[in-house]
Amino acid sequence: MFKKLWLLPVWSGVSGALLLASVFTYVKIDEPLPLASPLVSEIQPTGVPELMYAAIPAPENKFITSIGTADARAEILRQYLAKHESPLESHSDLIVKVSDENGFDFRWLVAIAQQESNLCKRIPDNSYNCWGWGIWCLDYDSEANECREMKITRFESYEQAIERIAPQFKEKFLSKGSRTEAEEVMGTYTPPSDGSWAFGVNQFMSELE
């Protein structure tokens, strides 16, 4: 009888431990499971690195960056022409493009236009000729100190003028020898000049540096 009585405390302890374990297990099972991550974040195409899912700059940011780093000359020129209220402002890209295609500094076309016509603000009517290109006096009256008849080369637009003048300028004024200075070009572009033409062109080119 007494031998069996000592089993009662042991049995009570074991039963209590089992009861607590059962309650703990029930509580854990009853807890909601965490939501699974979206499937797209777990499954990647074979062979594609994980960086594919890294944050990527928006396309418009790339476009702005490419403008800033690829070639700032056209924008610098546009601002320069806008400052001087020149009708060539909208053609800054074309000026840089045709100058590159013909292998000379784009500032030539701008500086000469500034020297000859104040950047197209003083040109013969309906000529689109800002460079004094193919313009000379056919009948000069020395007594009145004026030209009675002018030979004027006209273009249909500024675009046409730029595209036609650029290759001819390279061939006639920059291809012979090593002409790279305004003083050298002046000798054939405007022989009567006393040096003021070259001075003006040099000054305008330096403003675009």
Q: Is 106 a member of any domain?
A: yes
Q: What pLDDT, on a 0 to 100 scale, did the predictor assign at position 62?
A: 37
Q: What pLDDT, on a 0 to 100 scale, did the predictor assign at position 63?
A: 35
Q: Is 60 a member of any domain?
A: no
Question: Encoding tokens for residue 93?
Answer: 């890209």
* Other Cβ atoms within 10 Å of 63 Cβ, number: 10
Q: Is 36 a member of any domain?
A: no
Residue 128 near residue 155 (C-beta atoms within 8 A): yes
Q: Is 112 a member of any domain?
A: yes
The dihedrals phi and psi of 147, each to the nearest 5 degrees, come to -95, 125
Q: Is 134 a member of any domain?
A: no
Q: Is 137 a member of any domain?
A: no
Q: Is 175 a member of any domain?
A: yes
CA distance 33 to 177: 84
Cα distances (Å, whole numbers) of residue 127 to 2, 107, 117:
130, 22, 12
- Give the total number of structural domains in the chain: 1
Question: Is residue 116 pLDDT above 50, yes or no?
Answer: yes
Q: Is 80 a member of any domain?
A: yes
Q: What pLDDT, on a 0 to 100 scale, did the predictor assign at position 54?
A: 36
Domain range enclosing 89: 70-116+159-207
Across the strands, what pairs with 146?
Answer: 141
Q: What pLDDT, on a 0 to 100 scale, did the predictor assign at position 50?
A: 41
| pLDDT tens-digit map of 65-95 | 344 444 799 999 999 999 999 999 999 999 9
* pTM above threshold 0.75: no
| pLDDT tens-digit map of 22-58 | 544 444 444 454 444 444 334 444 444 443 333 333 4
Question: Is residue 101 pLDDT above 60, yes or no?
Answer: yes
Taking the mean position of all CA atoms in its chain, how far away is CA 10? 87
| pLDDT tens-digit map of 137-181 | 899 898 888 888 989 999 999 999 999 999 999 999 987 654 578
